[in-house]
Amino acid sequence: MLENYLKREEKKLKEESLFNEDYLDLYKNNFSKNLTFLLSSYHAWFNEELRDFNSGIDYGYYHADRSKRTLMMLNNLRDFTTQLNSELKLSSKYTSIRNQLKNILGNYGTKIPTDFKRIEIDEIIPIFESKGESFIKKDKNLKLQPIGKGSYAQVFKYYDEDYDKEFALKKAMDTLDEKELERFRREFDVMKEIKSPYVVEVYNYSEKGKSYSMELLDTTLLKYLQKNNQSITLEERFSFINQILRAFEHLKINGYFHRDISPNNILIKNYDSIKVIKISDFGLVKPKDSHLTSTDSEFRGSLNDPNLKFDGFKNYNETHETYALTQLIVMIISKKFNFSKIKDESIREFLEKGVSDTKNRYQTLEELKLGYLKMKNRLCN
């Protein structure tokens, strides 16, 4: 069992006074608690040997006792990474350093080549990388509870005792073809790249399981509106809209169009009395300069401009993003799911502008925001 091996390894490092917590922060988000301590210890041990070796470069010689000690570290590291081969790997940089040292170190002292350069030591970059499947999901027989299902993926929740909290796991359907799996992986990569409190946080991707872990949210915007529509205050509705606009401003800064805007893809996280909006479902995301989308891409997004069916989804641009966001904002502020029943003149004007023909609607997110603020002022007066 992997857990038993980790316990034995931890005991060995402690007995040899090699247990070290200095690098915990580099690994705690990608590995379990027990493994994180070991990775921190091996990182510290490797770096300590490198610092000592660097001190010998100036003299051109590494004494026998030091050579033996560094060789012992490399052998221990080899055994450790071999046992965890399915879980992690040594970074390419440190793999190269390891191979260099193995080639020149000797048990009876080491003559260091005159052209050998000082080794650059990584103090703030992890030297171990995850290979995908998180071992905490592998050995603990976690119970996955289904909480949602779409045409491309199923979402589960599970409890992780190491973190004492629940997480979500999004798993691709077995029926996806290569192109659909590419989109699924890109969804994870984009969400991992975007650092925003208004985008769902993701953690580890498993190539083997075709899944990734992410933070667990409480509900969708659609479900929240349907359940609480009559009791939600105007102030709370403004808060939702402001957060959504900030989220899409952040996407724009990072050069992305979401392309699948709907109240089902806007999630809510409860923090005591505060509700934070989180954008999810980036399966159709497109960088502004990307040409990945083919002409036959499936038309999706419940609030998308119907003309995209004829214009082609590859031609999606900022005016299509504002078209969908206009409807989302109106849905939140008006308490209506049937827009034909909206009577407030300021809301109707905002809606009509936002969903008019391409040339006359809001051309940019900035224009949409100004239109929203104008409507908001009229509603508050």
pLDDT (tens digit per residue) in 125-156: 999 987 643 434 444 556 788 888 887 899 99
- In this predicted structure, the answer to whether residue 29 has a pLDDT above a threshold of 80 is no
Instruction: Catalogue the E-assigned strands of 75-230.
Output: 88-90, 110-111, 128-130, 145-149, 153-160, 165-172, 202-206, 211-215, 219-220
Cβ atoms < 10 Å from Cβ of 326: 23
- In this predicted structure, the answer to whether residue 24 has a pLDDT above a threshold of 60 is yes
Single-letter code of the amino acid located at 79: D
Query: Residue 366 has what pLDDT?
Result: 97
Cβ atoms < 10 Å from Cβ of 77: 18
Mean pLDDT of 323-350: 95
Query: Residue 296 has what pLDDT?
Result: 40
Query: Residue 88 has what pLDDT?
Result: 84
Mean pLDDT of 52-62: 84
Alpha-carbon span 155 to 249, nearest angstrom: 27
Read off the pLDDT of residues 239-251 as tens digits, 9 standing for 90 and up.
999 999 999 999 9
Query: Residue 1 has what pLDDT?
Result: 61
Read off the pLDDT of residues 271-306 as tens digits, 9 standing for 90 and up.
888 899 999 998 888 775 554 444 344 445 568 988
With a pLDDT cut of 90, the percent of the chain lying above it is: 52
Task: Find the distance separating the first CA and the last CA of the chain, reported in whole Å.
Answer: 67
Query: Angle formed by the axes of helices 234-253 and 365-380, to 10°?
Result: 170
With a pLDDT cut of 70, the percent of the chain lying above it is: 92
The residue to which tokens 């872990």 are assigned: 213
Contact 221, 263 (CB under 8 A): yes
Phi-psi region of 268 (alpha: psi -120 to 50; beta: other; left: phi over 0): beta
Cβ atoms < 10 Å from Cβ of 202: 22
Query: Which carries the bigger pLDDT value, residue 57 or residue 350?
Result: 350
Query: Residue 301 has what pLDDT?
Result: 54
Sign of the torsion formed by the C-alpha atoms of 48, 49, 54 and 55: positive
Mean pLDDT of 157-162: 82
- In this predicted structure, the answer to whether residue 322 has a pLDDT above a threshold of 90 is yes
Query: Residue 141 has what pLDDT?
Result: 57
Query: Residue 221 has what pLDDT?
Result: 96
Q: Which fold has domain 136-215?
A: Phosphorylase Kinase; domain 1 (3.30.200)
Domain extent listing, the chain:
2-129, 136-215, 219-380
CA atoms within 13 A on the CB side of 104: 19
Mean pLDDT of 339-365: 95
Contact 64, 108 (CB under 8 A): yes
Single-letter code of the amino acid located at 315: N
Q: Which helix (H) or strand (E) holds 16?
A: none
Q: Return all residues near 132 (Cβ < 8 A) that are at least 6 apart.
A: 204, 205, 206, 207, 208, 209
Mean pLDDT of 220-233: 94
Mean pLDDT of 251-257: 90
Query: Residue 132 has what pLDDT?
Result: 46
Q: What is the mean pLDDT of the chain?
A: 87
The model's confidence at residue 369, banded by pLDDT at 50, 70 and 90, is very high
Mean pLDDT of 22-51: 88
The residue to which tokens 């491309």 are assigned: 152
The model's confidence at residue 199, banded by pLDDT at 50, 70 and 90, is very high
The model's confidence at residue 161, banded by pLDDT at 50, 70 and 90, is confident
CATH 1.10.510.10 fits 219-380, yes or no: yes
Contact 81, 89 (CB under 8 A): yes
- In this predicted structure, the answer to whether residue 22 has a pLDDT above a threshold of 80 is yes
The model's confidence at residue 202, banded by pLDDT at 50, 70 and 90, is very high
Alpha-carbon span 342 to 283, nearest angstrom: 32
Cβ atoms < 10 Å from Cβ of 163: 12
Mean pLDDT of 110-124: 87
